[in-house]
Amino acid sequence: MVLSGAGKRHYNLTAAYTELEAYHIAVHQHLQEAITLYDDDWLSDKTLRERIIERVETSEAGSDGVMRMIDDMVQEKHREVIADAEGKE
């Protein structure tokens, strides 16, 4: 579960909420892998540097996914609020 409290309460029923967690996990997983690789001799090992860069880039892609899912959640919720308001008129 990515969101908690009011965020979860307002957005957990959106389609994007269920997709958000996979991107969020990927961000942390790949950054942790990069940090672990950083503990090795990356200064003298080009392959290791490339692996670190790859993990950071993969994490950045996951972060892009997180941002897209947040945008999607907000848009979905906005459509829901508008539809509810129109139904009450």
Residue 32 covered by a domain: yes
Residue 6 domain flag? no
Local confidence band at 27 (pLDDT 50, 70, 90 cut-offs):
very high
Please list, in sequence order, all residues whose beta carbon lies within 8 angstroms of the beta carbon of residue 58, skipping any fewer than 6 positions away.
26, 30
Please report the pLDDT score of residue 3 as a whole number.
60
For the chain, the C-alpha Rg in angstroms (whole number) is 19
Residue 76 lies in a domain: yes
Domains contained in the chain, number: 1
Cα separation values, 68 from 4, 18, 20, 84, Å: 19, 13, 9, 24
Could you tell me the two tokens for 52? Answer: 């670190």
The pTM assigned to this predicted structure is 0.80
Among 34, 19, 29, 33, residue whose Cα is nearest residue 66: 19
Domain membership flag for residue 2:
no
Report the pLDDT averaged over residues 12-25. Answer: 91
Alpha helices in the chain (DSSP H): 5-11, 15-38, 46-87
Residue 41 lies in a domain: yes
Mind listing the pLDDT tens digit for each residue in 31-56? Answer: 999 999 988 898 999 999 999 999 99
Residue 81 domain-assigned (yes or no): yes
- pLDDT at 5 exceeding the cut of 90: no
In terms of residue numbers, what domain contains 47? 12-87
Inform me whether the pLDDT recorded for 2 exceeds 70: no
In a domain, 5, yes or no: no
| Residue 39: inside a domain | yes
